Amino acid sequence: MRRAWQAGMIALARSPRAKRWIQSGRATSGLASRYVAGPDAEAGVALAAALLARGIRSSLFYLGEYVDSPVLVAENVAAKREVADLLGRAGIEIHVSVDPTQIGHSLDPALGRRNALAIAGAIADAPGDGQRLMMIDMEDRSFVDATIALHDELRGDGLPIGITLQAYLRRTEADLAARIRQGATVRLVKGAFAAGADAAFTTQAEIKANHRRLIGLMLSRAARDAGFRPVIATHDDRLQDHAIAQAEAAGWGKDEYEFEMLYGVRGALAEQRAREGHRMRLYLPFGRDWWPYAVRRIGENPRNAWLLARSLAGG
């Protein structure tokens, strides 16, 4: 049931006709505002400021997906640079998430690399003296080697970089161990993709067990000694509890690791973690192209069916 629901929502995310119809309709604007800050960088920064007032940090993400033209790539890069500048001017920590394919990596890896350098450089040079980071998202398995190489190169150049690794992949334990030795910043997620049993854990139970094991590595004493910065990105409160217990046992301060969740998903849990004194960050998308992103979030939980039905009915 869960798989069929998710597959249906992914098909809907990829339908240009559904996207045109839904993104132009006023009735669905409630759906957009549930998961997305607004149409532009100003709206993203305004919501980031409001969240910060409640003790919650943000990672801004410009919604430009399924990019197949240099014009869209250029637009995506400009939006990432603009939001870094606006965050700096607003005196807010500069944290921007980037998909390699949205900045041209699948069109031409050299173009993707140049654009990653340009965005990371803009983040490093943005106004203000607060913390800053470009967090690289991880896409499907075919991009993992190139994305890790990109991270390592930019990190070697002294740019403020973090990388996302996925617990569903068997290789992640080794990839993570190497990044821990570097003292890098890693955001660990479950992984929004699937692969065969040779490369991946294929059942939810296996993926969750690996997720727990990797959280243990991220919050070990050795990782802390190496200057590693763990980001635990999950909406699973039991995995979060596990991370907190590991962190306490290994002597991590609450300001030395952080949790990250998606804006619009389990908001009460995010607020609760912030109240408990944890560093909590929300992945905060902005941009006009909101439908493919929102429908994937809806697809992650069959209980969201009512939300979709009510929105499409104009309620």
- Annotated catalytic residues are 137, 187
Contact 234, 264 (CB under 8 A): no
Task: Report the residue number, 205 or 313, with the smaller CB distance to ligand FAD.
Answer: 205
The reply on whether position 304 binds ligand FAD by CB under 6 A is yes
Task: Report the residue number, 20 or 213, with the smaller CB distance to ligand FAD.
Answer: 213
**Which listed residue (300, 305, 308, 312) binds ligand FAD by CB under 6 A?**
300
Helix pair 41-53, 70-89: axis angle to 10 deg = 40
Please give the structure tokens belonging to residue 143: 């991009």
**Which listed residue (113, 190, 229, 242) binds ligand FAD by CB under 6 A?**
190
The residue range among 172-180, 189-197, 216-224, 270-278 that interacts with ligand FAD, by the rule CB under 6 A, is 189-197
> At residue 149, what is the residue type?
A
The residue range among 42-50, 68-76, 84-92, 260-268 that interacts with ligand FAD, by the rule CB under 6 A, is 260-268
Taking residues 126 to 165 in sequence order and writing x for each that binds ligand FAD by CB under 6 A, - otherwise, the string is -----------xx-------------------------x-
Task: Report the residue number, 115 or 164, with the smaller CB distance to ligand FAD.
Answer: 164
Rounded to the nearest whole angstrom, what is the least distance from the CB of residue 296 to ligand FAD in the complex?
8
Residue 102 dihedral angles phi and psi, to the nearest 5°:
-75, -15
Residue with tokens 């203000």: 128
Task: Report the residue number, 113 or 297, with the smaller CB distance to ligand FAD.
Answer: 297
**Which listed residue (261, 280, 294, 295) binds ligand FAD by CB under 6 A?**
261
Task: Report the residue number, 70 or 202, with the smaller CB distance to ligand FAD.
Answer: 202
Q: How many residues bind ligand FAD (CB under 6 A)?
A: 23
Please give the structure tokens belonging to residue 277: 């004194």
Radius of gyration (C-alpha) of the chain in whole angstroms: 19
Contact 116, 82 (CB under 8 A): no
The reply on whether position 289 binds ligand FAD by CB under 6 A is no
Distance CA 220, CA 223 (A): 5
**Which listed residue (170, 171, 266, 279) binds ligand FAD by CB under 6 A?**
266
Which residues is 281 bridged to in the sheet? 57, 260
Distance CA 119, CA 138 (A): 17
Task: Report the residue number, 86 or 243, with the smaller CB distance to ligand FAD.
Answer: 243
Q: How far is CA 180 from CA 185, 218, 270, in A?
A: 8, 7, 26
Taking residues 28 to 47 in sequence order and writing x for each that binds ligand FAD by CB under 6 A, - otherwise, the string is --------------------
Contact 284, 263 (CB under 8 A): yes
The reply on whether position 297 binds ligand FAD by CB under 6 A is yes
Which residues is 96 bridged to in the sheet? 60, 134
Residue with tokens 């890069």: 77
Site for ligand FAD in 234-253 (CB under 6 A): 234-236
Distance CA 198, CA 229 (A): 30
Contact 62, 38 (CB under 8 A): no
Contact 18, 9 (CB under 8 A): no
Residue 55 dihedral angles phi and psi, to the nearest 5°:
80, 15
Rounded to the nearest whole angstrom, what is the least distance from the CB of residue 265 to ligand FAD in the complex?
4
The reply on whether position 228 binds ligand FAD by CB under 6 A is no
Which residues in this chain contact ligand FAD in the complex, by CB under 6 A? Answer: 137-138, 164, 166, 189-193, 233-236, 260-262, 265-266, 283, 297, 300-301, 304
